[in-house]
Amino acid sequence: MNTNTEAIRAENLTKIFKTRRSEVVALENVNLSVKDGEFLCLLGPSGCGKSTLLRILAGLEKQTYGKVYLKAKNTEKPLTAVVFQGDSIFPWMKVIDNVEYGLRIRGVPARERREIALKYLKLMGLEKFADLYPPQLSGGMKQRINVARAFASDPEILLMDEPFGALDEQNRLILQQELLRIWEGSGKTTVFITHSIDEALLLGDRIVVMTAQPGRIKAILDVGMERPRDILSIKSSPKFVKLYREIWEYLREEVLKARNFTGSGGK
Protein backbone atom coordinates (compact mmCIF):
# COMPACT_ATOMS: atom_id res chain seq x y z
CA MET A 1 0.00 0.00 0.00
CA ASN A 2 1.27 3.45 -0.87
CA THR A 3 0.58 5.26 2.38
CA ASN A 4 1.14 8.71 0.90
CA THR A 5 -1.74 8.56 -1.50
CA GLU A 6 -3.95 5.58 -0.68
CA ALA A 7 -6.57 5.39 2.05
CA ILE A 8 -8.06 2.02 1.11
CA ARG A 9 -6.65 -0.89 -0.78
CA ALA A 10 -8.46 -4.15 -1.47
CA GLU A 11 -6.50 -6.99 -3.04
CA ASN A 12 -8.12 -10.02 -4.65
CA LEU A 13 -11.14 -9.85 -2.38
CA THR A 14 -13.44 -12.81 -2.67
CA LYS A 15 -16.46 -13.40 -0.49
CA ILE A 16 -18.35 -16.66 -0.51
CA PHE A 17 -21.48 -17.03 1.59
CA LYS A 18 -22.03 -20.64 2.48
CA THR A 19 -25.45 -21.79 3.45
CA ARG A 20 -26.38 -25.38 4.24
CA ARG A 21 -27.65 -25.99 0.73
CA SER A 22 -25.66 -23.69 -1.50
CA GLU A 23 -22.80 -21.29 -1.94
CA VAL A 24 -23.10 -17.72 -3.12
CA VAL A 25 -20.01 -16.08 -4.55
CA ALA A 26 -20.84 -12.48 -3.68
CA LEU A 27 -17.46 -10.97 -4.64
CA GLU A 28 -14.76 -12.40 -6.86
CA ASN A 29 -11.22 -11.07 -7.07
CA VAL A 30 -12.02 -7.45 -6.39
CA ASN A 31 -9.00 -5.14 -6.59
CA LEU A 32 -9.62 -1.58 -5.60
CA SER A 33 -7.60 1.39 -4.49
CA VAL A 34 -9.19 4.51 -3.04
CA LYS A 35 -7.09 7.64 -2.83
CA ASP A 36 -6.76 9.72 0.25
CA GLY A 37 -9.57 12.27 0.30
CA GLU A 38 -11.31 10.76 -2.70
CA PHE A 39 -15.08 10.39 -3.16
CA LEU A 40 -15.58 7.01 -4.81
CA CYS A 41 -19.01 5.83 -5.99
CA LEU A 42 -19.96 2.19 -6.43
CA LEU A 43 -22.62 1.32 -8.98
CA GLY A 44 -23.92 -2.11 -9.91
CA PRO A 45 -27.06 -4.21 -10.26
CA SER A 46 -28.97 -5.31 -7.20
CA GLY A 47 -27.30 -8.27 -5.52
CA CYS A 48 -23.87 -7.70 -7.09
CA GLY A 49 -22.12 -7.41 -3.75
CA LYS A 50 -21.90 -3.65 -3.14
CA SER A 51 -23.09 -3.81 0.46
CA THR A 52 -20.92 -6.87 1.07
CA LEU A 53 -17.86 -4.96 -0.13
CA LEU A 54 -18.73 -2.00 2.10
CA ARG A 55 -19.28 -4.25 5.10
CA ILE A 56 -15.89 -5.87 4.55
CA LEU A 57 -14.25 -2.43 4.38
CA ALA A 58 -16.04 -1.51 7.62
CA GLY A 59 -14.80 -4.69 9.29
CA LEU A 60 -18.37 -5.93 9.79
CA GLU A 61 -17.88 -8.91 7.53
CA LYS A 62 -14.79 -11.05 6.88
CA GLN A 63 -13.65 -11.75 3.35
CA THR A 64 -13.13 -15.39 2.35
CA TYR A 65 -9.93 -14.61 0.45
CA GLY A 66 -7.84 -11.53 -0.18
CA LYS A 67 -6.68 -8.58 1.84
CA VAL A 68 -7.93 -5.15 2.91
CA TYR A 69 -5.73 -2.31 4.05
CA LEU A 70 -7.10 0.90 5.54
CA LYS A 71 -4.84 3.79 6.39
CA ALA A 72 -5.23 5.20 9.89
CA LYS A 73 -3.67 8.65 10.17
CA ASN A 74 -4.91 9.46 13.63
CA THR A 75 -5.50 6.69 16.13
CA GLU A 76 -7.73 8.93 18.28
CA LYS A 77 -10.40 8.91 15.58
CA PRO A 78 -12.57 6.00 14.52
CA LEU A 79 -11.29 4.42 11.34
CA THR A 80 -14.67 4.17 9.63
CA ALA A 81 -18.27 5.31 10.05
CA VAL A 82 -21.07 3.70 8.08
CA VAL A 83 -24.36 5.17 6.89
CA PHE A 84 -26.44 2.10 6.19
CA GLN A 85 -29.07 1.38 3.59
CA GLY A 86 -32.42 2.50 5.02
CA ASP A 87 -33.16 3.83 8.44
CA SER A 88 -30.63 3.11 11.16
CA ILE A 89 -31.08 5.83 13.74
CA PHE A 90 -32.32 4.98 17.22
CA PRO A 91 -36.01 5.90 17.57
CA TRP A 92 -35.81 6.07 21.36
CA MET A 93 -33.06 8.70 21.38
CA LYS A 94 -33.54 12.41 20.76
CA VAL A 95 -32.13 13.71 17.49
CA ILE A 96 -29.19 15.36 19.23
CA ASP A 97 -28.37 12.18 21.19
CA ASN A 98 -28.42 10.20 17.96
CA VAL A 99 -25.87 12.56 16.44
CA GLU A 100 -23.73 12.43 19.59
CA TYR A 101 -23.83 8.66 19.79
CA GLY A 102 -20.44 7.84 18.23
CA LEU A 103 -18.73 10.54 20.25
CA ARG A 104 -20.29 9.29 23.49
CA ILE A 105 -19.07 5.75 22.77
CA ARG A 106 -15.59 7.19 22.34
CA GLY A 107 -15.77 9.00 25.66
CA VAL A 108 -15.75 12.56 24.30
CA PRO A 109 -16.81 14.88 27.18
CA ALA A 110 -20.47 15.92 27.21
CA ARG A 111 -19.95 19.58 26.44
CA GLU A 112 -17.59 18.99 23.56
CA ARG A 113 -19.76 16.36 21.96
CA ARG A 114 -22.83 18.56 22.19
CA GLU A 115 -20.96 21.33 20.41
CA ILE A 116 -19.85 19.00 17.61
CA ALA A 117 -23.31 17.47 17.24
CA LEU A 118 -24.93 20.91 17.04
CA LYS A 119 -22.46 21.99 14.39
CA TYR A 120 -23.45 19.10 12.11
CA LEU A 121 -27.15 19.44 12.89
CA LYS A 122 -26.86 23.05 11.82
CA LEU A 123 -25.01 22.13 8.63
CA MET A 124 -27.85 19.74 7.83
CA GLY A 125 -30.50 22.34 8.66
CA LEU A 126 -31.79 20.37 11.64
CA GLU A 127 -30.89 22.44 14.67
CA LYS A 128 -34.54 23.25 15.40
CA PHE A 129 -35.29 19.56 15.70
CA ALA A 130 -32.49 18.65 18.13
CA ASP A 131 -34.85 17.76 20.98
CA LEU A 132 -37.40 15.79 18.98
CA TYR A 133 -37.49 12.01 18.60
CA PRO A 134 -36.99 10.39 15.17
CA PRO A 135 -40.58 9.09 14.85
CA GLN A 136 -41.66 12.75 14.84
CA LEU A 137 -39.60 13.42 11.69
CA SER A 138 -39.95 12.74 7.97
CA GLY A 139 -37.84 10.19 6.08
CA GLY A 140 -35.66 12.92 4.59
CA MET A 141 -34.95 14.39 8.00
CA LYS A 142 -34.01 10.98 9.36
CA GLN A 143 -31.51 10.48 6.57
CA ARG A 144 -30.05 13.88 7.36
CA ILE A 145 -29.56 12.75 10.95
CA ASN A 146 -27.79 9.65 9.67
CA VAL A 147 -25.40 11.77 7.65
CA ALA A 148 -24.87 14.26 10.49
CA ARG A 149 -24.14 11.37 12.86
CA ALA A 150 -21.53 9.89 10.52
CA PHE A 151 -19.72 13.22 10.05
CA ALA A 152 -19.93 14.07 13.77
CA SER A 153 -18.10 10.90 14.72
CA ASP A 154 -15.24 12.23 12.54
CA PRO A 155 -13.98 8.98 11.04
CA GLU A 156 -10.97 8.67 8.77
CA ILE A 157 -13.16 7.01 6.16
CA LEU A 158 -16.87 7.43 5.47
CA LEU A 159 -18.78 4.47 4.07
CA MET A 160 -22.27 5.19 2.78
CA ASP A 161 -24.68 2.56 1.53
CA GLU A 162 -27.45 4.15 -0.56
CA PRO A 163 -28.12 6.79 2.07
CA PHE A 164 -30.68 8.61 -0.11
CA GLY A 165 -32.14 5.59 -1.85
CA ALA A 166 -35.50 5.79 -0.13
CA LEU A 167 -36.07 9.51 -0.64
CA ASP A 168 -38.25 11.34 -3.13
CA GLU A 169 -36.45 13.23 -5.87
CA GLN A 170 -36.72 16.70 -4.37
CA ASN A 171 -35.47 15.65 -0.98
CA ARG A 172 -32.70 13.71 -2.63
CA LEU A 173 -31.55 16.78 -4.55
CA ILE A 174 -31.44 18.83 -1.39
CA LEU A 175 -29.54 16.18 0.50
CA GLN A 176 -27.08 15.65 -2.33
CA GLN A 177 -26.33 19.36 -2.33
CA GLU A 178 -25.95 19.35 1.45
CA LEU A 179 -23.71 16.32 1.35
CA LEU A 180 -21.52 17.95 -1.29
CA ARG A 181 -21.12 21.05 0.81
CA ILE A 182 -20.34 19.26 4.06
CA TRP A 183 -18.04 16.74 2.33
CA GLU A 184 -16.15 19.32 0.29
CA GLY A 185 -15.25 21.06 3.53
CA SER A 186 -14.09 17.85 5.18
CA GLY A 187 -11.79 16.20 2.65
CA LYS A 188 -12.80 12.77 3.94
CA THR A 189 -12.15 9.63 1.98
CA THR A 190 -15.62 8.37 1.10
CA VAL A 191 -17.05 5.25 -0.50
CA PHE A 192 -20.64 5.80 -1.55
CA ILE A 193 -23.00 3.15 -2.94
CA THR A 194 -25.85 4.21 -5.16
CA HIS A 195 -28.21 2.86 -7.80
CA SER A 196 -28.41 6.23 -9.46
CA ILE A 197 -26.02 7.15 -12.29
CA ASP A 198 -26.98 10.79 -11.75
CA GLU A 199 -26.07 10.66 -8.12
CA ALA A 200 -22.72 8.95 -8.79
CA LEU A 201 -21.84 11.64 -11.36
CA LEU A 202 -22.92 14.50 -9.12
CA LEU A 203 -20.96 13.34 -6.12
CA GLY A 204 -18.05 11.16 -7.18
CA ASP A 205 -14.46 11.76 -8.21
CA ARG A 206 -14.41 8.27 -9.71
CA ILE A 207 -17.12 5.72 -10.38
CA VAL A 208 -16.66 1.98 -10.09
CA VAL A 209 -19.13 -0.14 -12.04
CA MET A 210 -19.51 -3.69 -10.77
CA THR A 211 -20.64 -6.78 -12.65
CA ALA A 212 -23.71 -8.85 -11.82
CA GLN A 213 -23.09 -11.68 -9.39
CA PRO A 214 -20.38 -12.70 -8.75
CA GLY A 215 -19.42 -9.07 -8.20
CA ARG A 216 -16.25 -8.03 -9.99
CA ILE A 217 -15.02 -4.68 -11.15
CA LYS A 218 -16.21 -3.99 -14.66
CA ALA A 219 -15.04 -0.44 -15.21
CA ILE A 220 -13.61 2.54 -13.37
CA LEU A 221 -14.38 6.01 -14.71
CA ASP A 222 -12.94 9.40 -13.85
CA VAL A 223 -15.67 12.00 -13.39
CA GLY A 224 -13.28 14.93 -13.58
CA MET A 225 -15.79 17.68 -12.74
CA GLU A 226 -14.61 20.71 -10.88
CA ARG A 227 -15.29 21.29 -7.22
CA PRO A 228 -17.06 22.88 -5.47
CA ARG A 229 -19.88 21.49 -7.56
CA ASP A 230 -23.24 22.91 -8.33
CA ILE A 231 -25.72 20.14 -9.02
CA LEU A 232 -27.81 21.96 -11.60
CA SER A 233 -24.94 23.19 -13.72
CA ILE A 234 -23.32 19.74 -13.65
CA LYS A 235 -26.53 18.11 -14.84
CA SER A 236 -26.67 20.33 -17.87
CA SER A 237 -23.02 19.95 -18.91
CA PRO A 238 -22.13 17.93 -22.05
CA LYS A 239 -19.59 15.96 -20.05
CA PHE A 240 -22.36 14.74 -17.78
CA VAL A 241 -24.41 13.46 -20.71
CA LYS A 242 -21.42 11.71 -22.26
CA LEU A 243 -20.42 9.98 -19.02
CA TYR A 244 -24.03 9.09 -18.27
CA ARG A 245 -24.28 7.22 -21.58
CA GLU A 246 -20.98 5.46 -21.10
CA ILE A 247 -21.90 4.25 -17.62
CA TRP A 248 -25.36 3.17 -18.72
CA GLU A 249 -23.80 1.00 -21.46
CA TYR A 250 -21.71 -0.80 -18.86
CA LEU A 251 -24.56 -1.10 -16.41
CA ARG A 252 -27.23 -2.17 -18.85
CA GLU A 253 -25.41 -5.38 -19.70
CA GLU A 254 -25.00 -6.24 -16.05
CA VAL A 255 -28.55 -5.38 -15.05
CA LEU A 256 -29.83 -7.65 -17.83
CA LYS A 257 -27.55 -10.45 -16.65
CA ALA A 258 -28.77 -10.01 -13.09
CA ARG A 259 -32.40 -10.17 -14.22
CA ASN A 260 -31.84 -13.40 -16.08
CA PHE A 261 -29.95 -14.81 -13.15
CA THR A 262 -32.80 -14.20 -10.70
CA GLY A 263 -35.37 -15.40 -13.20
CA SER A 264 -37.28 -12.13 -13.10
CA GLY A 265 -36.41 -11.05 -16.63
CA GLY A 266 -38.16 -11.60 -19.92
CA LYS A 267 -41.19 -9.40 -19.33
Ligand X SMILES: Nc1ncnc2c1ncn2[C@@H]1O[C@H](COP(=O)(O)OP(=O)(O)OP(=O)(O)O)[C@@H](O)[C@H]1O
Q: Would you tell me which residues interact with Mg ion (CB under 5 A)? A: 51
CB 190 within 8 A of CB 113: no
| One character per residue 47-86, x = contact with ligand X (rule: CB under 6 A) | xxxxxx----------------------------------
First to last CA, the chain: 46
Site size for ligand X (CB under 6 A): 13
48 binds, among Mg ion, ligand X, none (CB under 5 to 8 A by kind): ligand X
Dist CA 10 CA 110 (whole Å) = 37
Which of residues 1 and 24 has its CB atom nearest to Mg ion in the complex? 24
Question: In this structure, which amino acid lies at residue 233?
Answer: S
CB 73 within 8 A of CB 36: no
Dist CA 14 CA 184 (whole Å) = 32
**135 Cα distance to chain centroid:** 24
Q: Can residue 189 be called a binding residue for ligand X (CB under 6 A)?
A: no
Q: Can residue 46 be called a binding residue for ligand X (CB under 6 A)?
A: yes
Which of residues 51 and 194 has its CB atom nearest to Mg ion in the complex? 51
Length, in residues, of the chain? 267
Residue 48 CB, shortest distance to Mg ion, in Å, is 9
Residues 6+ apart with CB under 8 A from 233: none
Residue 24 CB, shortest distance to ligand X, in Å, is 5
The single residue among 1, 16, 24, 231 that binds ligand X, judged by CB under 6 A, is: 24
Which of residues 113 and 172 has its CB atom nearest to Mg ion in the complex? 172
213 binds, among ligand X, Mg ion, none (CB under 5 to 8 A by kind): ligand X
Dist CA 238 CA 76 (whole Å) = 44
| Residues forming the site for ligand X (CB under 6 A) | 17, 19, 24, 26, 44, 46-52, 213
